[in-house]
Amino acid sequence: MEEHPMTRVAFIGLGNMGSGMAANQAKAGREVFAFDLSADAMARAKEQGMTPAASAADAVKDADIVITMLPAGSHVRDVYMSTILPNAPKDALLIDCSTIDVDSARTVARDASMQGFRAADAPVSGGTAAATGGTLTFMVGCREQDFAEIEDALKPMSKATIHAGDSGAGQAAKICNNMLLGISMIGVSEAFALAEGLGLDPQKFFDIASKASGQCWSLTSYCPWPGPVPAAPSNRDYEGGFAAAMMLKDLRLAQEAADISGAPTPLGSAAEALYSELVDRGHPNKDFSAILQMLRGRL
């Protein structure tokens, strides 16, 4: 019987999210060539069964799949232009999982397709725990005919992979979703602060609102008040969740997109201002639900 060759994955960007994601590619029996500028991240990748590459160009040169997880649009554009497009095999599938501006995502995909590559933007929802657990949700912008292959490439890291539309649609879905999340968390936090001010027991308020028309994910899955939802970061002093600085990044991307598209987002703008204040007060790494404690005057 003919040996089926191992799928070769180049993974560039082994930060808080990328390291767990890349490890799941390796656990799935794929050969992972990893690259990051951090020596610590590279050492950890080796421990997790990956091959540390000498450079990003070295990582992609024989890849079947190239996955990037980088901080911003400028990094993605730079790595694509200087490294991936000149060095990756033309039949490699290029997937960017970073959260970046829609314009950068479309530019990168256009440049890649002009050179004969199949490319996708596939930002994620779920945070570091889901990255480690392989239970992220991916929102994918790509050509319809490429989606099945992209879904398969993402499978070791994914709980759900959804085709959002053409290039850039994944990023659009991500920033719209996270703007909604930021706004709803502030709404839930304001309601708890008011309930407290009115002498209403927070657990009783939770029991009522979670069964009433105020019910939402920020309340019932991720409650900012410690107690009602045991798994929520509010019970761990707001550590180890979705960092306020990351929420601020997404809200800024949403506001940039709103300015360009002319969409009215008054609450998105207010949410950006409030999270900016939380970060400026010295709490960039606290979970974004810590906004409750800022509203209560406890930070």
- 164: DSSP letter: E
**Residue 30 contacts residue 7 (beta carbons within 8 Å):** yes
Question: How far is Cα 283 from Cα 241, in angstroms, rounded to an integer?
Answer: 13
Question: How far is Cα 275 from Cα 119, in angstroms, rounded to an integer?
Answer: 33
Beta bridge partners of 287: 243
Which SS3 state, helix, strand or coil, does residue 286 take?
coil
Question: How far is Cα 59 from Cα 41, in angstroms, rounded to an integer?
Answer: 15
Q: Which of 90, 174, 204, 286 is catalytic?
A: 174
- Is residue 127 within a helix (H) or strand (E), and if so which, with residue range? helix 127-133
- The CA angle 124-125-129, to the nearest 5 degrees, is 105
Question: How far is Cα 163 from Cα 2, in angstroms, rounded to an integer?
Answer: 34
- Is residue 294 within a helix (H) or strand (E), and if so which, with residue range? helix 291-295
Of 132, 225, 226, 122, the closest CA to residue 167 belongs to: 122
Beta bridge partners of 67: 11, 95
What are the φ and ψ backbone dihedral angles of 218, each rounded to 5 degrees?
A: -60, -25
Helices within 198-283 (DSSP H only) = 202-209, 217-220, 244-261, 266-280
Known catalytic residue: 174?
Answer: yes
Beta bridge partners of 176: none
Helix axes 39-47, 18-27, angle to 10 degrees: 20
Question: How far is Cα 284 from Cα 233, in angstroms, rounded to an integer?
Answer: 15
Q: What is the set of active-site residues?
A: 174
